[in-house]
A and B are shown apart, each in its own frame.
Chain A
Amino acid sequence: MSKPRVAIFDFACCEGCQLQIVNLEEEILDLISVVDVVEWREAMSEQSHDYDIAIIEGSITRAEDEHRIQVIRSRAKILIALGACATIGGVNKMKNNFNLNEVKRCVYGKDADMPHLATTTTRAVHEVVPVDFKIHGCPINGEEFSRIIRDLLLGKKPFVPDYPVCVECKAKENVCRYEYDEICLGPISRAGCGAPCPTAGFRCFGCRGMVDNPNVEAAQEVMTKYNLTVEDLKQKTVLFNSK
């Protein structure tokens, strides 16, 4: 059997998720022995239009990028959204909370109307083309990436948790961030990261998106217990979970 051909493409993002692939260090040598990486601009000079799996990093923010992702989709058998910018729009969607012309003027001033600075409403990849799998996080977790790719190669459906970060945070025996007067998004955010942020003394800010059906009642209970409101919680979701 020939090795699956994999291509990695980036759109509007920080390219930190590609970096987590590089950060697999020695393990990347094993991964590249079972797939053919045919295009990966950040790491290699080769290019190809012939691939089985397309891995997409970044959000869609321009008309030309919408066209580009459609072409990639038409060529790929499997399309994977990599990281928060691709899976949920991530920080790029904060832009959608403002008027687009005002945002351009804020950054580029009198030059805002130059054609090459055009921007559209930020969209996650699945809001433009069908996505087969999502690898969550900002950045992604390298181990999870490696596991999902191995599952796909073995024909298994990759497991993606649909329970909140609190589950993994409790398992780490962390003291709840609410005890430190912080608003933590752990109760409504998708787990799978292993709760590294609360473990390092920092609140969860929801970079893996929310669970499919957030337990609003439980979240409300937490907010009431700490004299906070659901509005306070919503304010914190602006960072990674704007519409």
Chain B
Amino acid sequence: MSKNININVHHVTRIEGHGNIVVNITDGKIEKCQWQVPEAPRFFEAMVRGRRYDDIQTIVSRICGICSISHSLVATRAVEDALKLEVSEQTDLVRHLLHYSEQLQSHVLHVGYLVAPDLFGEKSVVPLVPKATDAVKTIIKAHRVANQMSALLGGRITHPVTLTPGGMTRIPSNEELKTLKKELEAIVPDLVTICKVVLSVAAGLPDFTRDTEYVSLIQTHPRYKGTLTEYTFYHGDIISNDCNGAGAVPTSKWESVANEYVSPQSTAKWTKWHRASYAAGALARFNNQAEKLSPLGKQVAEMFGLKKGCCNPFMNSVAQLAEAAHVVEASLEIIDKLLTKGTKPEKVKVAPRAGRGHAGIEAPRGILFHSYEFDKNGQCVWGNCCIPTNQNHANIQLDFEKLVPQYMHEGEDALRQKMEMLVRSYDPCVSCSTHYLDITFVR
């Protein structure tokens, strides 16, 4: 076995955005081991200045194509916080549905199209089409249903147009909701099939653990206590396994959690809270609220032996599968609630006012914060966003530092593959955080 390893992965593939992996090992000594983020910065916080309060969600939705719904939702809610606007229960429920559609779409896409090829030993989903046609078609079907749900509730699949400060521009009709309900019920068996397919190759997930801090929202909204939506992606305060009963932090204080800093390795800012790094995403949410998952969500976790307190980052993909099952059941519960009362269109009236507002939400890949300030005419004068992938960069770096010594004896190719898989397991959305992943092996 060579004692020299030189990995230089420029732009890791099958992730959203750009990242590089660089590892130099000489005579068995690790000289360099870096996760680099070279994505082209886009300066959204600067660009929103001067724009009106009701154009903000349209602009910042474009931070990310995969989590555009989360960005639009959190921006809309931060604007509502600044303008002191309350929304109706109907709007809140419909927004939850819209948000669930994105979780489902993103999780199916990530596990099915980006992670599964590694487990099957392929370079993409394309060679899986002839090899596992039925499985691929089942994944496509679940993905399509999730997208149709986004289109119904958001006006289009990506970059929704129904969100506006104070409400929704369009509320789905009872008939549309009944059709959606049938479609969601029909994909439950498909999700189980997808889980079984992934389970058949789950031995390929490395048995690697590193104790870290897991940060997510925890439900505080009384309306959702005791419902499936108690497992929260939307309302709530910020919590972690390091809070030790000290209480959760309101999202308005997110800056004191993220403690953002600029790393010379990255065009995206990095974050840390109680430790040198923390993790956000499906595994963080699962670790902080697993007991609130829906019955099918729990069943999926059990299939894979995923338990609360898991600190194997590769299990994030399994937590995503459990959440995919969960959001379908939680959506069905909300649809029933909406149908009980019947939906009706809403009229939104908003008066601009000066103020600063904040909001936090769980994007599919982790907790996401936006803040904005407006002048008395409703023009934005300041904005600040903190994206989940940024919050994972430092944690990926520290995982690398433990993973490389543990697996370097397996040789360059195996090590590179594990490092790429590790990055993918975080489901990074580097365009969000800005963009990039690059691995380098030195021989």
Contacts and interface: CB of A to CB of B under 8 A. Distances in A.
A138 interface: yes
Nearest to B45: A107
Interface stretch (A10-18, A151-159, A215-223): A10-18
Interface string B358-370: 0000000000000
A29 interface: yes
A7 to B, nearest CB: 13
Interface size class on chain B is 35 or more
Contact of A91 (B38, B47, B113): B47
A43 B64 contact: no
Nearest to A61: B40
Nearest to A238: B51
Nearest to A47: B13
B321 interface: no
Contacts of A138: 62, 159
Interface in A7-62: 11-20, 22-23, 25-26, 29, 32, 37, 40-47, 58, 61-62
Given A15-B66, A44-B14, A116-B38, A37 B126 contact: yes
B326 interface: no
Given A41-B11, A43-B113, A107 B65 contact: no
Interface stretch (A71-79, A92-100, A124-132, A163-171): A92-100
A1 interface: no
A199 B13 CA distance: 37
B42 A12 contact: yes
**What's the dominant secondary structure at chain B's contact region?**
loop
Contacts of A117: 41, 262, 267
Given A65-B40, A107-B45, A202-B162, A14 B124 contact: no
A103 B43 contact: yes
Interface in B138-197: 140-141, 143-144, 147, 154-159, 161-162, 164, 169-170
Nearest to A112: B262
B59 interface: yes
Contacts of A16: 62, 64-66, 68, 158-159
Contact of A15 (B17, B50, B159, B269): B17
A43 B65 contact: no
Given A20-B158, A92-B42, A239-B58, A42 B15 contact: yes
A22 B113 contact: yes
B63 interface: yes
Interface in B2-54: 11, 13-18, 38, 40-43, 45-47, 49-51
Contacts of A18: 65
Given A15-B64, A44-B14, 15 more contacts: A16-B159, A19-B158, A41-B13, A44-B13, A45-B13, A98-B46, A103-B46, A103-B47, A106-B43, A116-B38, A139-B159, A197-B156, A199-B155, A200-B169, A239-B59
Interface of B: 11, 13-18, 38, 40-43, 45-47, 49-51, 55, 58-59, 62-66, 68, 109, 113-114, 117, 123-126, 129, 137, 140-141, 143-144, 147, 154-159, 161-162, 164, 169-170, 262, 264, 266-267, 269, 431-432, 435
